[in-house]
Structure 1
């Protein structure tokens, strides 16, 4: 490490642009009468997602159990929704272990918001309005189904094809050594390595109707071909994933089942056991209103708006300088 590591990884020009971006975001939500909230970064529970590695911390009050640095404010914000907060947004730090590189930093800034009585299509409209304002975009965003993406790139139906068919296509197109019996592992690999770099190059694009097995915390619906699909979206700009949104699951029994499936998959993957968030489940028992929610990467939005090459240029101090 050299003496220069004391210096910021972002230029002062970029830091001023970052301040302007945060002010623009707050004006956007103030104009829509959406309440800014603040929830804990340090919490007793975290996500059960088998593919997400979380950062832990000692219990701050000296008790035995460890706490987690939050991967997103989602669970806490849903507790606020269940307490009748109405529409809310938050700009906060989030943490994900092992994520470092040109587009990732273990500590990053996230914008997350929730709209009661919206579905994911209505929320996409609002996401488009915000991102267009920041990027000074004049063209309507594209909307493409997950099904059509895979037909276009690989001539395969990602919903009806089995794991062996998807694995065979991945091995034809990619030089990989991965072994997995999970179909979604191969779909995710093809998406990340072959499809994502081509998305939103000229015009930002929403990808919709993901396989139901990739629903996370989204509701399940049916597409025009009769496939069960997750009612969620991801937004891509210039090959960069910018936002991930859901028509939120509100059924607590279904939520418990999904947490259990995550637990079982963690065992298969030999991943650490993570207890389901009992506070979230209790809030859902009370009643989570019908709503749509989205998480958007603020650092990545700044990268796009300023033409930056990597996330380190968008934050004051990247992980190697923190």
Structure 2
């Protein structure tokens, strides 16, 4: 282990320049920078996301000899939507986020996230703005757009909205990627996500950013279901040069529907042998009060800077990785 930083001084200066460009981009659009807490009383229920947890002994609701759990936030999403529900306008945040996951070429458990929300935007308008920011920072060609359904048909000749397990297993097997756990997997979404990650993502966004939109409704997360096609959600992701850069939604504003999705997440967590997470009631209360119609997106700053600096791994654009933090 070295005490020295993994990012050199020239890269540090270039990173600072990119952050300056981002702030200037939003200043010109009258999108206001905000800050929200890193620690919160609740976290996401997503079955595939795990948060870091710490203990706090000085809660008003407990004796000082007792502790409560506080969670390092996986993103500022819930807190920022609470701001919007309270009357805030279009806003963005550059912050630290934390996910209890393995370190890798494109991921450090502590990372920098850019998240922003645009009132009265849908996911197509937000894709335009994400593309403008990426093109500004990277000087790249104009982004491509393709629906999730059209992408699967083009790349693997399967309609993801009409497929079944047998068809997906046959596809995976024909590409030499089949393993025992996939044969035993009954979740179509898990199989679709595997196909996306292993067979499709390496082939898209090679020369220009690629926006994939209208994901299956079962992968909606916090996005609205399309009124034009109930099989899909108004969600998009952006890929460029093998890196997933951004994940955005035309945001769900219905509190009852959102709470039901959280409960469904917890049911999946239980099936996977994971602990259920308490639903964030502050967030649900904010939705009940009224979240304005909006679209929001989370973009990985470290990954964006990797592309801007032609870095081969995330360690080269952050001062200290988890290995020598």
Name the TM-score class by shorter chain: over 0.9
Q: 1:164 aligns with which of 153, 166, 187?
A: 166
- Alpha-carbon shift at residue 171 of structure 1 (Å): 2.8
Matched, 1:203 2:208: yes
Contact 1:113–1:295 under 8 Å retained in 2 = yes
SS at match of 1:68: strand
Give a deviation string over 1:239-286, Cα, whole Å, max 9, x none: 110000000000001001101110111111111110111000000010
> Which digits, 9 at most, give the CA deviation of each residue in 1:37-71, with x for residues without a partner?
00011110100000111111112525432110000
User: 1: distance between equivalents of 2:31 and 2:297?
Assistant: 14
Taking only aligned residues, the RMSD between alpha carbons, in angstroms, comes to 1.2
Aligned 8 A contact 1:247 1:292 in 2? yes
Distance apart, 1:177 and its partner CA: 2.5
Which secondary structure state, in structure 2, belongs to the residue aligned with residue 164 of structure 1?
Answer: helix
The whole-number CA distance in structure 2 between the counterparts of 1:251 and 1:86 is 19
Aligned 8 A contact 2:266 2:276 in 1? yes
CA distance in 2 between partners of 1:198 and 1:164 (Å): 24
- What does residue 53 of structure 2 align with? 56
- Specify the alignment match of 1:183 in structure 2: 188
Correspondence 1:94 to 2:97 = yes
> Partner of 2:180: helix, strand, or coil?
coil
Distance 2:227 2:272 in 1: 30
* Deviation of the 1:6 alpha carbon: 0.5
Counterparts of 1:175 and 1:265 in 2: how far apart (Å)? 23
Q: Report Cα offsets for 1:147-199 as digits up to 9, x if no partner.
A: 11211222111111122322332233214232311111111111111111112
How many residue pairs were aligned?
Answer: 316
> Where in structure 1 do 4 or more consecutive aligned residues deviate above 3 Å?
none
What per-residue deviation string (whole Å, max 9, x for no partner) do you get for residues 175-226 of structure 1?
Answer: 4232311111111111111111112101111001110000000000156xx5
Residues 288 and 222 from structure 1, CA distance in 2 versus in 1: closer, same or farther, beyond 3 angstroms? closer
Matched, 1:246 2:243: no
Unaligned stretches of 5+ in structure 2?
Answer: 59-63
If the length of structure 2 is used for normalisation, what is the TM-score? 0.95
Find 1:38's aligned residue among 20, 30, 35: 35
Which structure 2 residues correspond to residues 224-239 of structure 1 after superposition, within 5 A? 226=229, 228-239=231-242
Counterpart contact for 2:169–2:178, Cα < 8 Å: no
Which position in structure 2 is the counterpart of 1:65?
Answer: 68
Q: Is the 8 A contact 1:46 1:276 kept in 2?
A: yes
Sort the Cα spacing of 1:255 and 1:26 in 2 relative to 1 into closer, same or farther, 3 A: same
Q: Which runs of 5+ in 1 are unaligned?
A: none
Q: Is the contact made by 1:167 and 1:183 (CA closer than 8 Å) also made in structure 2?
A: no
Q: Where do residues 128-143 of structure 1 align in structure 2 (5 Å cutoff)? A: 128-137=131-140, 139-143=141-145
CA distance, structure 2, for counterparts of residue 129 and residue 199 of structure 1: 19
Match of 2:305 in 1: 302
- Secondary structure of the 1:108 match is strand
